[in-house]
Chains A and B, each alone.
Chain A
């Protein structure tokens, strides 16, 4: 009995440590795209991207030029699966990425070799990031579109600010720097690097919010709460009425 108790304790401790690691990402996250191969990147670019962005990334009527967009931009669009674009739809949507990590690094190397400007892939050290400042920055800059709990929100003309849960820390940081779609880009003059890390840390923490009180019901606010109140709360009580009352 004591041994079983010990095992349970061990498992619980293990689970807690996993949770704690998830909440506080420990070491620096290495920036991708620094050791790509320009030649292999070119070989991937020509069949995969050139039909829209042009043979030399100069842009066409269908898509903007990629000269000077920077490593962060290539990594964000390709690693989130938004590029290559799914046909149709008003917005590039997240889907499983078409290229693996090595191939994305090669693409980054090729595109940045054409014009080395633009924001690099941010190097993040979330362990030292200020969660509280991140929360303040998030609520006043990001919540208006992505929602206070980052579940996403609707924008005009069928576009939307996507939910941030599926984004990795690096992707979230890249998005802030490059401003994909309808989002404004926020440069280092507006958000210093430590502020960028702070926001990303807060976004990451929203993935597993420090959140008592039972099931979060999707964190979508009063709408799911109302449905639960009607269907579960009043529903159960109506069944109870049926049970103890007369039915004819």
Chain B
């Protein structure tokens, strides 16, 4: 029956050859290759929960009076966007858990992307022939950030309105075209009539489609180019060692999707995220202390806080201080990120052949050092976005904190980079630990077998008994540090 069914399709589509190859495709089993899957599956959860939310969300700034169940806001004038978010949180069945899962999935999605980018960077998986996929992946990071910000802005609560106000000012700060850009994005002066409905289309249609398309491209390219893999027994530049797609890898991956869903659902159920009813409806005249963006925009907020108020006048134009941290910094950051494979290839001249075996981070002290230095820079910026909360919690001066953060921002990256560089160099000078660890095994007859000179570099710890029976000698003490 199934055979006939299959044949019917195969006669018409001729797909059996392709399907057979596809099912036999081999995936590496290393845990760090699943980071991208966390991102993929949290994106899937974002789509699923997001669809549910669109049934109830009203992307409109029309003023209405609140008559819902949340007592402290009864009778307050607010936008339909805010009112419908309150409604879907309090009255719609499963609305709250869907909203919270959506938000947590976004937080996890971005975190997974960042860690995935880090894995690809530190192992050199971006080298020829994978530069295109690096660029596609970086675009996904940018789009995910943009979509996160758009989603965060939709409910029209006090916090999201504050974020939009900052975004508007950043757009305004662009020299020459700033006013145009701000008006183009917002459709007029802040707060414009149309911003929420525009953000809605951007958030639920435009950016998700782009992300979906690029995600498809990302995986199609991965499929075509095959996986990279760490060096090890039987692994060469021309093969991939791991599990076949069907059945082992597919089942494992489906299981992992359930795990990601479970973690996101758990967070959505037990941990409150973005309690907009406490922040109140957006009013342009109001602002709250401790206003922060979601974590992935935190580095930009931190940069805005730390940058001194330098205003430059040149050629009859004023460049406001906001321009440097708000426009220049992200442009340079993403420029360097996108361009890294090409920059590195230029300096190392490693562009003559294809690289399918990965580096271990310590084998590339310079790249690893630069990576750690750059990460420390953005981590400092991220923490700087919390200066007011840190000052309150730890009872220190917020002005002093800002000055300290500026100093740390300049001093830490070179220190972190050079310490990492030294550590990698030292680690490289040591012999491979797998080769030096003495292996003591006991034979069925009760004899102890000692092998203290493993297989050397790359043997992957394959135990090699020296064939001598050490039954009379006591087992040696494990050497320190082994």
Question: Which of A's residues lie within 8 Å of B, judged by CB?
Answer: 90, 131-132, 134-136, 139-140, 143-149, 151-158, 160-161, 163, 202, 205-206, 209-217, 219-223, 225-230, 232-234, 236-238, 240-242, 244-248
Q: Do B112 and A245 touch across chains, with their CB atoms under 8 A apart?
A: no
Query: Chain A's nearest CB lies how many Å from the CB of B61?
Result: 18
Q: Which residue of A lies closest to B29 (CB)?
A: A246
Q: Do A244 and B278 touch across chains, with their CB atoms under 8 A apart?
A: no
Contact with A along B54-84 (1 / 0, CB 8 A): 0000000000000000111111100000000
Interface: B310 (CB within 8 A)? no
Contact with A along B272-306 (1 / 0, CB 8 A): 11110111100101111111111100100000000
Known: A143-B289, A222-B293. 11 other contacts (CB 8 A): A132-B73, A139-B158, A143-B288, A213-B275, A215-B272, A217-B271, A221-B389, A223-B295, A233-B264, A244-B252, A245-B30
Query: Chain B's nearest CB lies how many Å from the CB of A62?
Result: 22
Contact with A along B377-399 (1 / 0, CB 8 A): 00000000111110110011111
Which stretch of B13-21, B184-192, B255-263, B345-353 is in the interface?
A: B255-263
Please indicate the chain B residues that have their CB under 8 angstroms from the CB of A154 in the complex: 289, 387-389, 391-392, 397-398
Q: Do A237 and B289 touch across chains, with their CB atoms under 8 A apart?
A: no
Other-chain contact of B273, A131, A158, A225, A234 (Cβ < 8 Å): A225
Query: Chain B's nearest CB lies how many Å from the CB of A163?
Result: 8
Query: Chain A's nearest CB lies how many Å from the CB of B392?
Result: 5
A63–B275 Cα distance when bound, in Å, is 42
A132–B285 Cα distance when bound, in Å, is 18
Judged by DSSP, the binding face of A is helix
Other-chain contact of A219, B275, B392, B399 (Cβ < 8 Å): B275
A175–B96 Cα distance when bound, in Å, is 36
Q: Do A160 and B392 touch across chains, with their CB atoms under 8 A apart?
A: yes
Please indicate the chain B residues that have their CB under 8 angstroms from the CB of A232 in the complex: 263, 267, 271
Q: Which residue of B lies closest to A215 (CB)?
A: B271
**A229 with B289: in contact, given A154-B398, A237-B108 (CB under 8 Å)?**
no
15 A–B contacts, CB within 8 A, in A order? A132-B72, A139-B283, A143-B288, A153-B388, A156-B399, A163-B392, A205-B72, A211-B278, A214-B271, A220-B290, A223-B292, A233-B263, A233-B267, A244-B255, A245-B31
Which stretch of B32-40, B126-134, B325-333 is in the interface?
A: B32-40
Q: Do A242 and B31 touch across chains, with their CB atoms under 8 A apart?
A: yes
Query: Chain B's nearest CB lies how many Å from the CB of A222?
Result: 4
Interface: B173 (CB within 8 A)? no
